[in-house]
Chain A
Amino acid sequence: MKTSLENHKIPGTIIFDGQRAIDGYALNKMCFSFNSAENRAAFLSDPDAYCRKFNLTDKQREAVKSRDVLGLLESGGHIYYLAKWGGIIGLGVQDLGAQQTGMTVEEFKAMLARGGAH
């Protein structure tokens, strides 16, 4: 599939286009379920079983296990849904940002305090 956005690749972001939506549907559906406290508790009590219940791919389950945000984005996760997963495991948007940019959280926050990345 050639999408119009693939003709506009933008360095440093991962456009959530049709192909990513296809790849990530199960992962995003799992993360969407985290709007419910009951589901968050179920995930925490056995994360891998919860991932299997939603039919995540091996790669996605591995990325969940290793908290690999870029890996989850590449395999179709949308950042809005992934943020719900992040919330459960104690990763806020600045922790997610730090990890993706290879900074410590302090470095990432300091960078934002200086007006952000350019």
Chain B
Amino acid sequence: MSLYHLQKFLYELNRDETAQQKYRNDLETLLDDFDLSDEESNALREGDIGLLYVLGVNGQILMHYAAFLEIEWFAYLELMREGIAKHGPVRAGVYAMTGGGESFTVEGKKR
């Protein structure tokens, strides 16, 4: 049930300014508070949106982490697509059955 802890990390980060400060200033201590695998911790250290998506993090949680990392909207969508191309389909969570996705907006296709 490690996905639970990975999502909990991001849930706390999304809603708690103290956690956000800690993420910026003392990430290792913050990571220690959660029961994470090495792959998960590394994805959080590197802000690896694509891998986090493949690991099963819900987009409703992930998109706010991307905003926190100041990743622009269409770049965020593209990072998830790249994650699937690199790591394969989503492994767990609600999206476990989803595929690659494509760009559905005229605005995004221009980028």
Chains A and B come from one and the same complex? no
B-side interface residues toward A, CB under 8 Å? none
